Amino acid sequence: MPRTAFKRALVTGASAGIGAEYARQLAAAGTDLVLTARRLDRLEDLAAELRARHGVKIEVVPADLSKDDGLSRVEKALAADPAIDLLVNNAGYGGRTGFLRGETADHLDMVRVHVDAAVRLTKAVLPGMIARGRGAVINVSSVAAFSPASGAQYSGTKSFLVMFSENLRTELRSKGIVVQALCPGLTHTEFHAAARQDLSRVPEMFWRTASYVVRVSLRRLGGRVVCIPGWENKAAAFLMRCPLTAGLVRAAGRSRIVRERSGKGD
């Protein structure tokens, strides 16, 4: 259960994976929801499930956040709903190629979904939270934010979310609003299949479930800004940032084997 009780939350990318799990755990805690994603059928199925199971009020807003009309639709929904006291910027996806092989339009779509959407939706929700003197924003980043071998676009946009969250928390410290950058590692969702990444050889000990990741996120909300679920992910983040080991990690990331397995070889 979340450490803090929320009355109404908006979750982006709520049709599957970590986003759907946020919806399930928040609904179980009695939180009314606004769910948004591209796939309307999945949103409606999830909304029906949660209404029946928990009796919460749920609004569905289908939107593609890589398109300006979709992002504007969610932005307006936030601005018009001052009761929302939790925003989960979860929408995102992994790159299928490296930067050189990828199309510029695809790179810009990722910036819109990971960066533009987080900035615009956070800006839209904050006035209501500030007026209330209470609220929270969760930006779903990734342990790849600290990695030199996870793709220029993906790691770059996820790194933005970490620093955006860190600095935003400082700016909002006196407003009663908390901010978290959630940085999960390998998680059992549709994410890797959608990015065409074959990680079947990775031992199970390095994987976490979406349920675990979200449970840790909600319990730690209000603590440290950067939340890294799992000892293995904490260790990886430490090794990638520690001055004594970062060079070795970068050297490993430049190897052909690592780049080919991650799908980022150019």
Enzyme catalytic residues: 154
Comparing C-alpha atoms, which of 13, 129, 133 is closest to residue 79? 129
H helix runs in the chain, sequence order: 17-28, 40-54, 68-79, 104-111, 117-132, 152-171, 191-194, 210-220, 231-241, 246-253, 256-261
Cα four-point dihedral sign 28, 63, 68, 19? positive
To the nearest 10 degrees (0 to 180), the angle between helices 152-171 and 104-111 is 20
Distance from the first to the final alpha carbon of the chain: 44
Rounded Cα distance between 18 and 123, Å, is 23
Beta strands at 8-12 and 177-182: parallel, antiparallel or unpaired: unpaired
Q: 228 exposed, middle or buried (CB, 10 Å; 0-12, 13-18, 19+)?
A: buried
Which residues, including other chains, have CB under 8 Å from residue 26's CB and lie 6 or more apart? 2, 6, 9, 11, 33, 86, 218
Q: How far is CA 108 from the centre of its chain?
A: 18
Is 198 exposed, middle or buried, given 0-12, 13-18 or 19+ CB atoms closer than 10 A? exposed
